């Protein structure tokens, strides 16, 4: 088994090259790091995760969820209703912190990576990032604010202006 450093965005590039993110439905990965096992849950429009898989993911010491609402290439970004609602609600409601990344990739990538690292460093164990575009961001922000727990903050990483905590 080969070990790949988990430092920085390069790790995610290698991981996505080895196991491409889903274009449809959900994908659940366990990543064994230096100190803790990480559950990574990726959700694209389509089917979701079973209750058993959600329980397995939540049992990990660290959980990172990624909602893939930004299309690769051209086209409109997906709306919340295009996703498996139970899995999506689970990803938002369980989150300690939520990021809505609406800037076009790779814009603000370093900011999102820093947010993720700082959140984990502050003891957060369940993070959700929603990838979308500027046109769809208001719907995603409204959904996150409606379904999140009161103690959870939502930070927006927009290309139009500096993001802020909602």
Distance (Å, whole) CA 80 – CA 142:
10
Do 112 and 157 contact (CB within 8 A), yes or no?
A: yes
Q: Angle at which helices 85-93 and 137-147 pack, to 10 degrees? A: 70
Whether 34 shows a pLDDT value over 70: the answer reads: no
pTM of the entire structure? 0.83
Element (H, E) at 32: strand 26-32
Q: What would the pLDDT profile of 63-120 be if each residue is shown by its tens digit? A: 999 999 886 655 678 999 999 999 999 999 999 999 999 999 889 999 999 999 999 9
């Amino acid at each position: 088994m080969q070990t790949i450093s988990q430092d920085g965005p390069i790790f995610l590039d290698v991981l996505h090259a080895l196991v491409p993110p889903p274009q449809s439905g959900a994908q659940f990965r366990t990543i064994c790091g230096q100190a803790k096992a990480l559950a990574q849950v990726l959700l694209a429009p389509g089917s979701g995760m079973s209750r058993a898989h959600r329980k397995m993911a939540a049992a990990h010491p660290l959980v990172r969820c990624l909602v893939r609402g930004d299309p690769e290439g051209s086209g409109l970004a997906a709306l919340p209703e295009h996703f498996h609602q139970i899995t999506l609600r689970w990803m938002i409601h369980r989150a300690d912190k939520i990021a809505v990344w609406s800037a076009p990739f790779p814009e603000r990538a370093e900011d999102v990576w820093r947010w993720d690292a700082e959140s984990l460093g502050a003891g957060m164990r369940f993070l959700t990032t929603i990838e979308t575009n500027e046109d769809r961001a208001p719907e995603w922000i409204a959904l996150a604010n409606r379904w999140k727990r009161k103690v959870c903050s939502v930070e927006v990483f927009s290309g139009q202006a500096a993001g802020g905590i909602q």
